[in-house]
Chains A and B, each alone.
Chain A
Amino acid sequence: APATAAAKCIKGDRKAPYTVGWANIYSVPTWMKQTSGTIEDVVEQLKAKGLVDSYVVTDAEGNANTQIAQIQSMIDADVDAIVVIAGSSTALNRVIEQACEKGIAVANVDSLVTTDQLTVKINTDSNKWGAQAAEFLIGAMGGKGKIIIMNGPAGISVSEDRRAGATPVLAAHPEIEILTETNTPYNAAPAQEAMTSLLFQYPEIDGILSLGGALTAGAILAMDRQGRPMVPMTGENYRQFLELWKEKGLTAWATMQPNWLGGFGVYAAVQALEGRDIPAFVEVPLPIIDNSNLDEYLARAADFPADGYIYSPYSLEMFDDLLAGK
């Protein structure tokens, strides 16, 4: 490793093998469990290379205040790298800045914080997520019609960003009429409940702009139960959605928040510790699932939990390419 480290926070005083900490916001949901899986996988690979020797996990049980305390504990325990999915886009700022000052490599993935004093932020672009989804839907609807927008929980950056990304696209198409919007947790049951009531309300719906998670699956189930004709819709790589998509032969589009962002975070942090110059922000391109590659995803479905997400394959080489901006 070179004497002067290039990445942010890195002071060059930490030597391999490293201790990696994973500050999980909530380990119970399946998406998080899958993400933990990719982290453990990458840690194992790095252990084999002699770069990592120990790995610690915390679980904040969904409470951002607890997550602050746990990151504080990791700082106190002097781990070398911290991977974090933020329980709040603002709440962790100060503790992360502290970690950075201590020379700890902090990789923030998925839900990002607003501070820039950390080693690397890795994420897809939530704005693009929303924009691309809107573009697909409008295209599939022929530029006009009535839609319902399904959002994740209110007050959370990710769901607000996706919605914000869709706004200008929708505004550019005055013939698209937004009937109404929902806010539900990223889960099928509440989405299905909300959608059912809305279906009774709106006899005419031409498209569903679902902005993530298992929302689309809920919508499809609701429509199916009422015998309503399927309409174009968007969504994410939730296994049940992809299966229903195939089963119903939908006109649909999906992207994903790859679970391997977690594993990638570990890799990037360790690379930074190793003295590699890595960018402050790595934008992971949004993989697109459409009718052309749906079957590829479904072919691997059995490897993923029934209530999980079928993410695209990853490898350390791929991470290298992403870090190099390729």
Chain B
Amino acid sequence: MATALRTHSVGRVLLHRVTLTYLIVALLWVVAGVLKPGFASAGHLRYLLELAAVMGIVAAGQTLVIIAAGIDLSVASVITFSAMMLPLLSPAGDPSGLAGVAATLLLTTAVGTLNGLGIVLLRVHPLILTLATATILQGALILIAGGSAISVNNPAVVFLGNGKLLGWPMTIVTWLVLGSLVTALLHATVLGAWLFAIGTNDRASRLAGVAVGPALVAAYAISGFCAGLGGLLLLGMNRQGYVGIGEPYLLGSIAAVVLGGTSILGGRGSYLGTVAGAVLLVTITALITVVNASAGWRSILFGALILGLLLLSGRDRESR
């Protein structure tokens, strides 16, 4: 049980492990491409990346929260909420649609902030508090659903979901920008360093003068922002929001984070790993879609793939 751990080698191993996850993704693409021609076509891979972008953006907030030893179970509801609220929040007089985008992101960030405040001030376990937030948002969705008589015609959102910038899909561009920001936040700012500290030992962090409360609120607020942005991208990609649009991203975002090597117990992890985790998850989801088998077998194949990849990508992890 007392495994020898050295951080700089942990760092190396981690990097190594993240590299390994990327290698696995590549391997998976090659194997799938050989077995199922068309799977590894450039167009398909780009599409997978676009899908992974949404997962990756939602999982960005989740990464911050999990590194701080929390968890955000409200992301699915926040995504749906964002997609449903946007048409209501887009003023008719704004041709760019940016006002609606800003208002929606502000709203979801506020939801995240409330999550953080509840966790810090009421000292309720994040699992329960974010679950309660999700439940309350579901209630709000009953009111909103069916209320929006127009499908999305917000140009900013359509551009986000469908547009291209210098030949690159906007989803991927957005992901690149957000991903860089989150990576920088984690590794180049005091806040990021604090999140690692809090996730490792919040009591010790507090006694060392770390502003634990504000840092946690910030992490949950960012998670709310990321989920909101994910919702807008989905809305743009589908041109239509509906209740339940966020559902696959709840367990998906957590799985991407953990598959990417971030410890579910907090204190250890990287966003680069999450990126690989998101791509991995999206890839195997697509893979089981193209396998012609009954639903039962597909489910089994999916489970087996996750387990297999987990085994491949590293066994020296915590025993939880």
Chains A and B touch (C-beta atoms under 8 A apart): yes
Give chain A's interface residues, CB within 8 Å of chain B: 27-30, 33-34, 37, 61, 151, 154-155, 179-183, 185, 187-190, 192-194, 196-198, 200-203, 214, 217-218, 221, 225-226, 240, 243, 302, 304-308
B206 on interface, CB distance cutoff 8 Å: no
B37: min CB distance to chain A, Å: 8
Q: Indicate which residue in A61, A197, A221 contacts B39 across the interface (CB closer than 8 Å).
A: A197
Contact B234 A196 (CB under 8 A): no
Q: Indicate which residue in B38, B145, B238 contacts A30 across the interface (CB closer than 8 Å).
A: B145
Q: Indicate which residue in B146, B245, B295 contacts A305 across the interface (CB closer than 8 Å).
A: B146
* Most chain B C-beta atoms within 10 Å of own C-beta, residue among A33, A37, A217, A240: A33
Contact B289 A189 (CB under 8 A): no
Contact B149 A302 (CB under 8 A): yes
B203 on interface, CB distance cutoff 8 Å: no
Against A, the Cβ 8 Å flags (1 = close, 0 = not) of B266-303 are 00000000000000000001100110101110110000
Across the interface, which residues of B come within 8 angstroms of A197, CB to CB?
A: 39, 44, 47-48, 286, 289-290
B125 on interface, CB distance cutoff 8 Å: no
Give A201 to B148 CA distance when docked, in angstroms: 36
Give A180 to B146 CA distance when docked, in angstroms: 33
Contact A200 B145 (CB under 8 A): no
Contact A185 B244 (CB under 8 A): yes
* Most chain A C-beta atoms within 10 Å of own C-beta, residue among B148, B239, B289, B294: B289
Give A22 to B278 CA distance when docked, in angstroms: 41
B90: min CB distance to chain A, Å: 13
In chain B between 138 and 181, which residues have their CB closer than 8 angstroms to a CB of chain A? 138, 141-142, 145-151, 162
Q: Knowing that A190-B248, A197-B289 are A-B contacts, what are 10 other residue pairs whose CB atoms are under 8 Å apart, sorted by A's residue number?
A: A28-B141, A29-B242, A33-B146, A155-B295, A181-B292, A189-B245, A200-B47, A305-B148, A307-B145, A307-B241
Contact A29 B244 (CB under 8 A): yes
B241: min CB distance to chain A, Å: 6
Contact A30 B290 (CB under 8 A): no
Q: Indicate which residue in A198, A302, A304 contacts B290 across the interface (CB closer than 8 Å).
A: A198
Contact A200 B245 (CB under 8 A): no
Contact B243 A29 (CB under 8 A): yes
Across the interface, which residues of B come within 8 angstroms of A198, CB to CB?
A: 289-290
Q: Indicate which residue in A187, A214, A306 contacts B148 across the interface (CB closer than 8 Å).
A: A306
Query: Which residue on chain B has the smallest CB distance to residue A226?
Result: B43
Contact B242 A30 (CB under 8 A): yes
Contact A183 B298 (CB under 8 A): yes
Against A, the Cβ 8 Å flags (1 = close, 0 = not) of B225-248 are 000000000100111111111011
Q: Indicate which residue in B37, B151, B245, B248 contacts A240 across the interface (CB closer than 8 Å).
A: B151
Given A189-B234, A221-B239, A30:B146 Cβ within 8 A: yes
Give chain B's interface residues, CB within 8 Å of chain A: 36-39, 41, 43-44, 47-48, 51, 87, 138, 141-142, 145-151, 162, 234, 237-245, 247-248, 285-286, 289-290, 292, 294-296, 298-299
Contact B44 A192 (CB under 8 A): no
Contact A221 B145 (CB under 8 A): no
Given A28-B145, A305-B149, A196:B47 Cβ within 8 A: yes
Across the interface, which residues of A come within 8 angstroms of B238, CB to CB?
A: 188-189, 192, 218, 221
Contact A305 B292 (CB under 8 A): no
7 A-B residue pairs with Cβ-Cβ distance under 8 Å, sorted by A, are: A28-B141, A29-B243, A37-B146, A187-B242, A200-B39, A217-B240, A306-B151
B35: min CB distance to chain A, Å: 11
Contact A201 B146 (CB under 8 A): no
Across the interface, which residues of B come within 8 angstroms of A203, CB to CB?
A: 38
Give A168 to B87 CA distance when docked, in angstroms: 44
Given A181-B292, A307-B242, A28:B149 Cβ within 8 A: no
Query: Which residue on chain B has the smallest CB distance to residue A159?
Result: B295
Contact B142 A200 (CB under 8 A): no
Given A221-B239, A307-B242, A200:B149 Cβ within 8 A: no
Across the interface, which residues of A come within 8 angstroms of B294, CB to CB?
A: 154
Across the interface, which residues of B come within 8 angstroms of A240, CB to CB?
A: 151, 239-240
What 3 A-B pairs are tightest by C-beta distance, nearest first? Answer: A154-B295, A305-B146, A307-B242
Given A28-B138, A28-B141, A193-B286, A34:B245 Cβ within 8 A: no
Give A185 to B296 CA distance when docked, in angstroms: 15
Contact B145 A187 (CB under 8 A): no
Given A182-B289, A189-B238, A200:B38 Cβ within 8 A: yes
B248: min CB distance to chain A, Å: 7
Contact A201 B151 (CB under 8 A): no
Given A203-B38, A308-B146, A28:B243 Cβ within 8 A: yes
Query: Which residue on chain B has the smallest CB distance to residue A240?
Result: B240
Contact B39 A306 (CB under 8 A): no
Query: Which residue on chain A has the smallest CB distance to residue B151?
Result: A306
A302: min CB distance to chain B, Å: 6
Contact B142 A27 (CB under 8 A): yes
A307: min CB distance to chain B, Å: 4
B271: min CB distance to chain A, Å: 23
Across the interface, which residues of A come within 8 angstroms of B243, CB to CB?
A: 28-30, 307
Across the interface, which residues of B come within 8 angstroms of A151, CB to CB?
A: 295
Give A154 to B238 CA distance when docked, in angstroms: 23
Query: Which residue on chain A has the smallest CB distance to residue B241?
Result: A307
Query: Which residue on chain A has the smallest CB distance to residue B47?
Result: A196
Given A28-B243, A302-B149, A307-B241, A201:B290 Cβ within 8 A: yes
Give A23 to B290 CA distance when docked, in angstroms: 38
B298: min CB distance to chain A, Å: 7
Across the interface, which residues of B come within 8 angstroms of A61, CB to CB?
A: 138
Given A180-B292, A305-B145, A187:B51 Cβ within 8 A: no
